[in-house]
Amino acid sequence: MVISGVASADSLDILQPALLSPEMMVQVCDFYFMLAVTSQMQEEFVLLRGALEDTDITDEQIAFLTMQWYTGVLARIRINAFRVELATGLYTDLFASAAASVEAEAAVGNAVYMLPSFYNHDCDPNAHILWIENVDARLKALRDIEAGEELRICYIDASMGRDARQAILSKGFGFQCRCHRCLSNE
């Protein structure tokens, strides 16, 4: 993930982190839980820290890079990252070209965008994030939107049935969807 421009080490704190699954938590006292750091995370952290230490960056500049910071960032990437798929072609036919790009598995990578990270999910969304020719995320309205109406995007393949959607949203994003479509059993 790249944050362009000048950003402070705590700039990602504003994003909602993933809820920790029971396997990832260890109880440290009656009330507090902490992330049980997996060996893979630990290994990645040591590699990252070591790579930065080998550069001209001073210890003071990487003082923020603690294991706690790293796991907090991973928990945020977990539910806020978008799979970037470039749509090419005419703006008027973006959905056809976006669908073709998904079919061709043309993802160019994953990225976290600050503002789009605040859009909640709906199985019948009123907006859609897309990428045209570059990795700048754009928001396209899917229908007329009333002033004050919440902008909602769909995190998953909306063509799946209700149970499949619920299962993916619960497992992947940690919530039970109560959108109009799910509540109407559609």
Size of the site for ligand SAM (CB under 6 A): 14
45 is an interface residue for ligand SAM by CB under 6 A = no
Binding window for ligand SAM (CB under 6 A); candidates: 38-46, 54-62, 137-145, 169-177: 169-177
Cα distance between residue 89 and residue 24, in whole Å: 43
- Least Å distance, CB 115 to ligand SAM, is 11
Q: Which residues in 12-41 contact ligand SAM (CB under 6 A)?
A: 16
Shorter beta-carbon distance to ligand SAM: residue 79 or 94: 79
148: left (phi over 0), alpha (psi -120 to 50) or beta: left
Q: Using CB under 6 A, which of 84, 94, 153, 177 touches ligand SAM?
A: 177
Three-class SS state of 132: strand
Cα distance between residue 79 and residue 26, in whole Å: 21
DSSP H or E run through 141: strand 137-141
- Least Å distance, CB 155 to ligand SAM, is 7
97 is an interface residue for ligand SAM by CB under 6 A = no
Residue 125 DSSP code: -
Phi, psi of 42 (to 5 degrees): -65, -45
Phi, psi of 72 (to 5 degrees): -65, -40
Copy the structure tokens of residue 86: 């470039």
182 is an interface residue for ligand SAM by CB under 6 A = no
Position of minimal CB gap to ligand SAM: 120
Shorter beta-carbon distance to ligand SAM: residue 16 or 126: 16
Cα distance between residue 176 and residue 165, in whole Å: 10
Residue 181 DSSP code: H
Of 121, 100, 131, the C-alpha closest to 139 is 131
Shorter beta-carbon distance to ligand SAM: residue 89 or 116: 116
79 is an interface residue for ligand SAM by CB under 6 A = yes
Q: Which residues in 101-160 contact ligand SAM (CB under 6 A)?
A: 117-118, 120-122
Residue 137 DSSP code: E
180 is an interface residue for ligand SAM by CB under 6 A = no
Binding residues (CB under 6 A) for ligand SAM: these are 16, 79-80, 117-118, 120-122, 173-175, 177-179
